[in-house]
Structure 1
Amino acid sequence: MAASTPEAIGTVVDLKIRIPGFQGLRSSGLVPFGRAVGTFLIGRSARSSSFISAVSTPTKPDSTEVKRSKVELFKEQSNFLRFPLNEELLSEAPNINEAATQLIKFHGSYQQTNRDERGAKSYQFMLRTKNPCGKVTNKLYLVMDDLADEFGIGTLRLTTRQTFQLHGILKKNLQTVMATIIKNMGSTLGACGDLNRNVLAPAAPYAKKEYVFAQETAENIAALLTPQSGAYYDLWVNGEKFLSAEPPEVVKVRKDNSHGTNFVDSPEPIYGTQFLPRKFKIAVTVPTDNSVDILTNEIGVVLVSADDGEPQGFNIYVGGGMGRTHRVETTFPRLGEPLGYVPKEDILNAIKAIVVTQRENGRRDDRKYSRMKYLISAWGIEKFRSVVEQYYGKKFEAFRELPEWEFKSHLGWHEQGDGAMFCGLHIDSGRIAGKMKKTLREIIENYNLNVRITPNQNLILCDIRRSWRRPITTALAQAGLLLPRYVDPLNITAMACPALPLCPLAITEAERGIPEILKRVRAVFDKVGIKYNESIVIRVTGCPNGCARPYMAELGLVGDGPNSYQIWLGGAANQTTLAKRFMDKVKVHDLEKILEPLFYHWKTKRQRGESFGNFTTRIGFVKLKELVEKWEGPVEPVSRFNLKIFADRQTFEAVAELAKRQNKSAHQLAMEVIRDYVASQGKGSEVE
């Protein structure tokens, strides 16, 4: 799709066409797909005559039109994401048409309906913000909190890509909500759609130079790959822009066309009219910190520093991705693999070269196969590296050795390194609602705190003075936001996507189902004698697209029909191993029949220190299925630690009622209270 390529530059054909009522240039056999469609400059109104300049560089005659998906045509005919969305937003209908539904994704919104309601469809919109590194200013948090109450369903949701989601926005309120976010220095541009999504980085606000540099790099990558045509501001704030100045190195790399990466004279020099074949995900981190699930991204960037902590360059992984389609074995989740190393001053050029390689060669005929992981799987890493190097203009250096990865939640109280502290809060499934929402607002507002969203759907309160620690801890506890010691370890690493009732792709429950699933897993742990402080990584999604990254879990549950899941096993606690499909269509009420024998045999047959994921991989699925099929329950009680807590029925019923309000079992709540009391009697009652 580029205006020029390093492989072969053909004759430049400049087509100047005046077409009444033009709505976009349609594909023709004159320009082979892969080199087509340079620049379209047309007015905001699709009804007026428009001047079009199309630049192409065909490499050879080709009379065969390459098949493209419907979405590709929508993009091409949209005047850089404007038409027909601009007209659909003005209509009285509560919904928008098919083309506009695809285009509004690039602006950060999905059209949805409430699937719990029967009868006429109740159309509404979900908005997703763009927050590189998960950074959210004090002002923006308070604005999002207000918008959720005034125009949404009263809740905020934290996503697995460090952003907010607002649900339940009516079409008539879209412009008001969008404009409010933009005018408060927020953005939704590129949070959805076929382009670079939110760039991840560790959310911890450490003053350490490697963390600061990694986060700055993530922000620069996000700026480099942000759409430039202005359609976003035209539609939502009447063309007014609310942007801070970009770093000069970002502007320089975006404009640089020395290796044939750009569309010449285009409003979108990197994306052109077609943008990318599908969504594109990037994460940046530092060695050992795998809070970002680095291997699940199209591009994973890892900072390499000198012994004194001074940043030197970056290792780059490519080709990760989670989405797949049930029972279509040619679709699959995939881990990123090493591409090479670049000096720190070259990282933006390297990122741009990888994006352009996918733009030029990713499939645009079938969206099931449009992610970059399929291109790399088809080509192999050597060919992919060779093509990227042509756009990069140099060879990649050898990948630098890295230490082992760790999952770091950044929960609890920590020193930032600049005299202040931060506090990471566990939020079940990222849903902020009710008393929790009210209390968080009060704390963030009263103490003027900035916040950060983590890739595990949690929230970090930043820049806290030491003298504020105790009153903040007390207020949080009263709202049910406990220090990590008092949260079930299963909940700490668990994730779920929103799924039903609003996601149109959901097959079954995820967010609404995971609280009960986790309680049932804990009950099985208790039954087979697994200690409370042991845990496994559990992730649940309502469909196979993998938004909560279930294919990296030790136990992944993937929606596979009404009230049923595929079970995936074998991921690692540090998110470096891909799980594999163990069973299909397991009904939710039958989970114990599968989990009890698996956990029992893990408890009794594991090697020293062996995680559940590693155990299932070592034993193998054939043997595990045999154990499940022959299971008749443990012969005798397995643990002397399964103690009876309640002395009388009245106490049990009172605790059970209280636990129900907190989405816990009576046993869980009682154990938390006991641990809390014991801890308070000893030294160091405050836990980091």
Structure 2
Amino acid sequence: MEKKFAQDNLSEDEHIKDKSDFLRGTIKESLQNRLTGALDTDDVKLIKYHGSYQQYDRDLESERKQKKLEPLYQFMVRVRAAGGLTTPKQWLALDKLSDEYGNGTLKLTSRQSFQFHGILKRGLKPTIQAVNEVLLSTLATCGDVNRNVMCNSNPYQSLIHKEVYGLAGEISNYFLPKTTAYHEIWLNKEKVAGTPDFEPLYHHTYLPRKFKIALAIPPNNEIDIFANDLGFIAIEENNKIKGFNICVGGGLGSTFGNETTYPRLADVIGFTPKEKVIEVAETVIAIQRDYGNRSDRRLSRLKHTIDDRGLEWFVNELNTRLGWKLASPRSYQFISNGDKYGWLKGINNKWFYTLFVEHGRVKNEEGYSLKKALSEIAYIHKGDFRLTGNQNLIIGNVLEKDKKNIEDILKKNGVKDHSKLTGLRKSSMACVALGTCGLAFAESERYLPSLIDKLDVIIRKNGLEENEINIRMTGCPNNCARSSLGEIGLVGRAIGRYNLYLGASHNGDRLNSLYKEMLSEADILAELEPIIVAYAQERDMEESFGNFVIRKEIVEKTIRPLQVLK
């Protein structure tokens, strides 16, 4: 029986879901309307569950207004790939689709999935059909459901990594919506008469908001486990997984001027045997389904449910529903949340090359043909491609004899060796922002590389080329590139103006703090240069940049540290 929600004033999104017939709405009819490049208003919300956001080209906004034209509506399509795995055949198919229907680029996201941008309405259905034809999907990559499940990208790093990677895929498949609407709308499947849809977990109005799950293997936290609604930290004993620490309530999005919204790190609440992971995850999701805020979407993530009712309440509710108690958390340690570049030999005696992809944008431009290079590699590659949580790419399962061919293709196409880049650049992330995201106040992906060019001059001058200082930029406080976990975080406030945040930990277990507001580029450089110089001269051995600015009291530690329930 579905729980009736206590809120009297449900948000408009809740009413849309309620009457959508399990996410169908009028999407079919909207797609056929040739009088506009947009979908009907309700369908704009519903199409997210199918893996797409309606956007428009903001670079052309003023010009089209002057000509009394509607915005140039276009769609982002996101591809689901648990742990970020694709085959060479799938890579080539996505590459082709980006040219045929998109803007000629691929975006590797901070959640280990692919995004197409610039797809017009008439190309939406062919794109989603083609994605499915190569055994990938766009289902539930957006919307109020469990999103793409993140984990370490390389299962051949150890037997532990292989097991956790397999579990991520199992979780991803288990929590997919059961509605047949996706197959009817996009894949031309007929609804079987007399068999109504039923969502045993999500029910007919799904979750109050998006839900994110990740799995991490200490000592590396490259997927930023504490930024997720639900995280599982692998606990290893004698080269075997004993189980997982459970952390709940992470989420980094906020709204300027609204103090009831905030970035929050997940709390570690207990330990579960590995065979109970899906049971725990399903129960956590069900609690959020039943108690999450359905009146105000800005306050609807699991972090708000926990803060409103209390962590102790949440754990008691979880234990009661499970019918057994979580054990106390086991000890663990994270040391970094960055990627390790270059070649790594796996336990299967094959090689894995982690390639730096600046802000995840796979493109061709003069002197740098990354998209072409990866296409050439895909034609000869007998292994796979793996996306990391830091918007980078692993060329995986390479035979010893094929390593040089891959290196030669990258070099021929102007793809720089990672060893020639500073640690700052290799530790950078940026969201898409302008000119496609309708929420962005400022540039991010298109601007951060040039800002790093200027910061690199300061970095090299002070002998810090090898230091991995995390720098992250977002065009708004929704935090898609996890700027709140950057040792240097920049959040757009207006065109050319950013808030500067400092002091996150290097391993992802402490948020940064606001340092200065509304800074121009000249202001950012002027503020950061003396801090970088001081860091070069006064840091302790192995001290990270984030810890240095806290020790020097340049900013205060975030008020609410990561909590561990004893």
So what's the TM-score if we normalise by structure 2? 0.92
Q: Deviations over 1:567-621 (max 9, x none)?
A: 1110122222110111111122322221122222323333343222112112224
Task: Check whether the contact 1:405–1:576 (CA below 8 A) recurs between aligned residues.
Answer: no
After superposition, where does 1:158-169 map in structure 2 within 5 Å? 158-169=108-119
Aligned to 2:76: 126
Q: Deviations over 1:205-227 (max 9, x none)?
A: 41622111111111111111100
AA in 2 matched with 1:419: N
Query: Aligned partners of 1:531 and 1:286: how far apart in 2?
Result: 28
Which moved further from structure 2: 418-427 or 397-406? 397-406
> SS state of the match for residue 289, structure 1?
coil
Query: Aligned partners of 1:397 and 1:200: how far apart in 2?
Result: 24
Aligned to 1:508: 442
Query: Aligned partners of 2:219 and 2:311: how far apart in 1?
Result: 24
Higher relative CO (CA 8 A, sep ≥ 6), structure 1 or 2? 2
Task: Check whether the contact 1:147–1:177 (CA below 8 A) recurs between aligned residues.
Answer: yes
Please give the root-mean-square deviation of Cα atoms over the aligned residues, in Å.
Answer: 1.8
Aligned to 2:552: 619
Q: Deviations over 1:274-299 (max 9, x none)?
A: 11111111101222121111111011
After superposition, where does 1:171-210 map in structure 2 within 5 Å? 171-206=121-156, 208-210=158-160
CA-CA distance at 1:109 after TM superposition: 0.3
Q: Deviations over 1:226-254 (max 9, x none)?
A: 0001111111001279xxxxxxxxxxxxx
Query: Aligned partners of 2:448 and 2:491: how far apart in 1?
Result: 12
User: Structure 2: which 5+ residue stretches go unaligned?
Assistant: 558-566
Task: Check whether the contact 1:205–1:462 (CA below 8 A) recurs between aligned residues.
Answer: no
> SS state of the match for residue 89, structure 1?
helix
> SS state of the match for residue 59, structure 2?
coil
Aligned with 1:461 (options 386, 395, 401): 395
Query: Aligned partners of 1:108 and 1:386: how far apart in 2?
Result: 35
User: Structure 1: which 5+ residue stretches go unaligned?
Assistant: 5-31, 35-64, 242-264, 625-688
CA 1:447–1:404: 2 relative to 1, 3 Å = closer
Q: Does 1:147 align with 2:97?
A: yes
Task: Check whether the contact 1:181–1:187 (CA below 8 A) recurs between aligned residues.
Answer: yes
Aligned to 1:295: 226
Task: Check whether the contact 1:426–1:481 (CA below 8 A) recurs between aligned residues.
Answer: no
Identity %: 36
AA in 1 matched with 2:298: K
Query: Aligned partners of 1:557 and 1:234: how far apart in 2?
Result: 42
Query: Aligned partners of 2:141 and 2:80: how far apart in 1?
Result: 5
CA-CA distance at 1:555 after TM superposition: 0.4
Task: Check whether the contact 2:483–2:490 (CA below 8 A) recurs between aligned residues.
Answer: yes
Task: Check whether the contact 2:235–2:244 (CA below 8 A) recurs between aligned residues.
Answer: yes
Aligned to 1:33: 5
Aligned with 1:81 (options 23, 27, 36): 23
Aligned with 1:585 (options 518, 525, 536): 518
CA 1:605–1:231: 2 relative to 1, 3 Å = same
Number of aligned residues: 541
AA in 1 matched with 2:38: N
After superposition, where does 1:5-84 map in structure 2 within 5 Å? 32-34=4-6, 66-84=8-26
Which moved further from structure 2: 74-83 or 373-382? 373-382
CA-CA distance at 1:88 after TM superposition: 1.0
AA in 2 matched with 1:124: Q
Aligned to 2:413: 479
Query: Aligned partners of 1:493 and 1:463: how far apart in 2?
Result: 24
Task: Check whether the contact 1:282–1:300 (CA below 8 A) recurs between aligned residues.
Answer: yes
Query: Aligned partners of 1:375 and 1:605: how far apart in 2?
Result: 43
AA in 2 matched with 1:453: L
Higher alpha-carbon Rg: 1
Task: Check whether the contact 2:230–2:247 (CA below 8 A) recurs between aligned residues.
Answer: yes
Query: Aligned partners of 2:234 and 2:468: how far apart in 1?
Result: 30
AA in 2 matched with 1:360: D
Aligned with 2:283 (options 350, 353, 376): 353
Aligned to 2:381: 447
CA 1:601–1:113: 2 relative to 1, 3 Å = same
Task: Check whether the contact 2:154–2:162 (CA below 8 A) recurs between aligned residues.
Answer: no
So what's the TM-score if we normalise by structure 1? 0.76
Q: Deviations over 1:175-225 (max 9, x none)?
A: 111111112101010111111111000002416221111111111111111
